Each structure stands twice: as structure tokens, then as C-alpha cells.
């Protein structure tokens, strides 16, 4: 398929956070989109956490324009902060693409000079003033909010839900004449939508096709792989340089409740059969899965591959593979809670935080593991076959 028939859309929520690490990752994502030939980037709520000024800098380095129709800049007589729309010629048709974001998530802006205005008014204004054959709306809002908007709008052919993550078995929805499709799952899936016109000139949209990006279906691009490798090398050096700071922080942290983590070797003293069973699970190799991808320092991934990290109510949680190796991987205490008090007085202090579906969903959620099924997957790790 030639470029004249293809439109590559990035629906937002690509990166978030502040600081040097988040900034480097954002730069990498923009460079990769440049190589992909992305036609536009619609901003989501997560992007605004980087800060408006940083976003402006990223926009200058991006080949794909940033768009948002309802973000206004008070310094420029309420002019749009980014381009409000883009119109493309594809297959001899004019395709108008507009992006809006829910004002309810404007708290991420953290900039008094910027304001999110009425998204419906912004859409209607562009519908009236910009000629088009096909109208695509990218909406960064909760799916229920988007449906409410669509019921008040006419003439929307395709709505891309920027904040709605694709879930197995719930890939698209038609609301009247509008086809609604979901954003990708953190780059793990992509969606392809075929648009055409029938004999009467009406827009015809085939059912969206989703596919997972795996090694066997999407081989690595050497240029992208080189960029990722450079970033991972930099990230490794960054975290190594931060090791002394993490050590000081680990020593300074005082648990608020007297709770503290011990690690599996303490548990093994009395619960050897359970530890032997645990060693056969993927939980026992959780950190290795990050190491293979050179993501073992990634703050977005690491807490769910170790034990007790970022737990402000308990001491001894994971800080670093060298500093706190005893809490590497997803051990007993990751699910059952810190066992320090239990080890001091087993009869008096019977661990354990009750494990429920909510426990698992802290990590196996719709964004990180959309195919997780609690009833199906729990027996893989719950030691139910061990005689008590």
C-alpha cells in the first residue's frame, strides 16, 4: 500500500512523568515515530505530565505535528497551543482529523497559562469551517464520556478512544453511524481500519483489525532497535550513577508501621515446600524477564517484578539488585505482605495479607496485562496442590 492510501495516527498517552529519565524516554519515542512516518500525534493526559514547555520542545523535534483542538494559550489571545486539526488527501478524499481532550483531566496541565476548553464546541466549529469527506475524531477521555459526546455530535465517521486500552474480546463498537475503536496497549498492539466510500458516496468502515506486535509478526527494524539500545545503555548508566543515592534513601526510609520485608530465605525456614513450588513459577524469574529486555531499571516496570518496592509503610523493600538482592523477583511477601513481624513472633503475628483478585490486579491490570484472567491464572501461583 502506498503512502497516498495510508494514514498513520498516534492516539496519545505515549509517555509521562518528569525528570531526566522521563525526558530521555519521551525523546526516544518521538525519534521512533519520526522513523515510522507517523502523520500526527494526538496528545493524551499522560503527555501533559511532562509539562507544557517540554511538550513544546518535543513538538519542534517531531516530524509528526502535535494536535489538540481544545487546548488554549492565554498568552496568545487564547490561540490553540498546538495545531487544532490536520487535513489529509488520501485516495482522492479529504480526511479531517481532530483531537480533543476531556477538560476533567486538565489537572495534568499544571500551567495557569493553558486551559482546556469545551471539546464539543471545538469539534463543531471545525466541522463547520473545514471542508472534508471523512471526519476522524481522536478523543482522550473515558469511554463513557466519549459515548456521551458522540450522542451530541453528528458527522463523526471514526472515533479513536485515546484513553481506552484494547482488551481481548472488546475491540470496537458502533454507535449509530460512528465506528469507535480503541487505542493500542502501550505499543503492544496496533489497529488497522479500512475506510472506503460506497456507491452513494457514504463513508464505509470495515471492522477494525487488531494484531499483537510480537517478534514473529513484527521483526525489529534495525534503526529503531539501535535507538532503543542506545537509550537502554544510557538508562543503565543513569541508574548505576544513582545507586549511592538509592542506598542512602533505603537506609533513611523508616517504616511507618513497624512492618518490614525479609525475603524468601526467611520464609523457607518454615515453609520450604511453598518456596520450592514458588521456584517453578514465573514469579521467581520476574526480574530476569526485564533483564532480557534491558528494562531492569525502568521505574514503570520494576515495581511489579520485585518485592516491596515503593512501599512507604514498610521497610526493607526492593531498592536495587545489589543493595537489596533479598527482595528481587515477585516473592511471597509481594502478595502476602511484609513478614518481619511474623518472623519475630509467628504465633502472635500471623501474616498474612489476604490474597484476592485486587492483590493480583495491582500489577496484572488492563494496561500491563490485558489478557490476565484471575480464575484461570491464579492456580499457576497459589500453591493449592500442596498439602498443608
Average pLDDT over residues 99-127: 85
User: Domain 3-212 belongs to what architecture?
Assistant: 4-Layer Sandwich (3.60)
How much is the pTM? 0.78
Question: Are the CB atoms for 88 and 58 separated by under 8 Å?
Answer: no
Residue-averaged pLDDT of the chain: 84
Q: List the grid coordinates of 331.
A: 516473592
What is the residue-wise DSSP string for 303-350?
Answer: GGGBSSTT-TTEES----TTT-GGGBSS-HHHHH---HHHHH-TTTS-
Return the pLDDT at 163.
73
Q: List the grid coordinates of 1.
A: 500500500
Return the pLDDT at 242.
75
- Report the range of poorest mean pLDDT among 168-177, 274-283, 316-325: 168-177
- Which tens digits make up the pLDDT trace of 47-57? 877 777 788 88
- Which tens digits make up the pLDDT trace of 194-205? 887 777 777 788
Question: Are the CB atoms for 45 and 108 separated by under 8 Å?
Answer: yes
Return the pLDDT at 257.
52
Return the pLDDT at 288.
94
Return the pLDDT at 169.
47
Domain residue extents for the chain = 3-212, 251-380
Return the pLDDT at 354.
81
- Which tens digits make up the pLDDT trace of 297-349? 888 889 999 999 988 888 888 988 888 899 999 999 999 999 888 888 877 77
- Report the range of poorest mean pLDDT among 70-79, 94-103, 111-120, 286-295: 70-79
Provide the CATH topology of domain 251-380: Flavocytochrome C3; Chain A, domain 2 (1.10.1130)
Return the pLDDT at 78.
60
Amino acid at each position: 500500500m502506498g503512502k497516498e492510501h495510508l494514514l498513520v495516527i498516534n492516539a496519545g498517552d505515549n509517555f509521562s512523568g518528569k525528570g531526566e529519565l522521563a525526558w530521555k524516554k519521551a525523546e526516544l519515542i518521538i525519534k521512533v515515530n519520526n522513523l515510522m512516518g507517523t502523520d500526527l500525534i494526538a496528545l493524551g493526559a499522560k503527555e501533559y505530565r511532562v509539562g507544557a514547555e517540554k511538550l513544546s520542545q518535543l513538538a519542534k523535534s517531531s516530524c509528526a505535528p502535535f494536535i489538540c483542538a481544545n487546548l488554549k494559550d492565554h498568552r496568545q489571545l487564547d490561540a490553540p497551543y498546538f495545531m487544532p486539526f490536520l487535513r489529509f488527501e488520501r485516495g482522492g478524499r479529504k480526511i479531517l482529523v481532530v483531537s480533543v481532550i476531556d477538560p476533567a483531566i486538565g489537572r495534568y496541565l499544571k500551567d495557569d497559562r493553558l486551559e482546556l476548553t469545551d471539546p464539543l464546541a471545538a469539534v463543531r466549529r471545525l466541522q463547520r469551517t473545514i471542508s472534508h469527506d471523512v471526519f476522524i475524531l481522536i478523543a482522550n477521555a473515558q469511554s463513557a464520556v466519549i459515548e456521551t459526546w458522540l450522542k451530541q455530535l453528528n458527522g463523526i465517521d471514526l472515533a479513536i478512544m485515546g484513553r481506552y486500552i484494547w482488551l481481548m474480546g472488546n475491540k470496537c463498537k458502533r454507535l449509530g453511524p460512528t465506528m469507535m475503536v480503541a487505542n493500542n496497549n502501550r505499543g503492544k498492539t496496533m489497529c488497522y481500519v479500512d475506510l472506503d466510500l460506497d456507491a452513494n458516496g457514504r463513508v464505509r468502515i470495515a471492522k477494525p483489525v487488531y494484531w499483537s506486535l510480537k517478534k514473529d509478526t513484527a521483526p525489529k527494524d534495525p534503526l529503531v532497535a539501535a535507538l532503543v539500545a542506545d537509550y537502554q545503555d544510557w538508562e543503565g548508566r543513569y541508574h548505576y550513577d544513582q545507586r549511592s543515592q538509592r542506598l542512602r534513601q533505603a537506609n533513611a526510609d523508616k517504616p511507618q508501621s513497624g512492618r518490614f520485608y525479609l525475603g524468601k530465605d526467611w520464609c523457607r525456614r518454615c515453609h520450604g515446600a511453598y518456596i520450592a513450588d514458588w521456584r517453578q513459577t514465573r514469579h521467581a524469574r520476574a526480574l530476569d524477564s526485564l533483564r532480557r529486555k534491558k528494562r531492569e531499571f525502568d521505574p514503570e516496570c520494576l515495581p511489579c517484578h520485585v518485592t516491596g518496592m515503593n512501599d512507604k509503610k514498610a521497610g526493607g523493600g526492593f531498592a536495587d539488585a545489589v543493595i537489596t538482592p533479598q527482595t528481587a523477583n515477585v516473592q511471597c511477601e509481594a502478595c502476602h505482605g511484609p513478614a518481619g513481624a511474623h518472623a519475630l513472633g509467628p504465633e502472635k503475628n500471623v501474616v498474612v495479607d489476604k490474597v484476592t483478585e485486587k492483590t493480583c490486579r495491582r500489577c496484572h491490570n488492563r494496561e500491563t496485562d490485558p489478557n490476565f484472567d484471575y480464575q484461570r491464572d491464579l492456580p499457576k501461583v497459589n500453591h493449592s496442590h500442596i498439602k498443608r
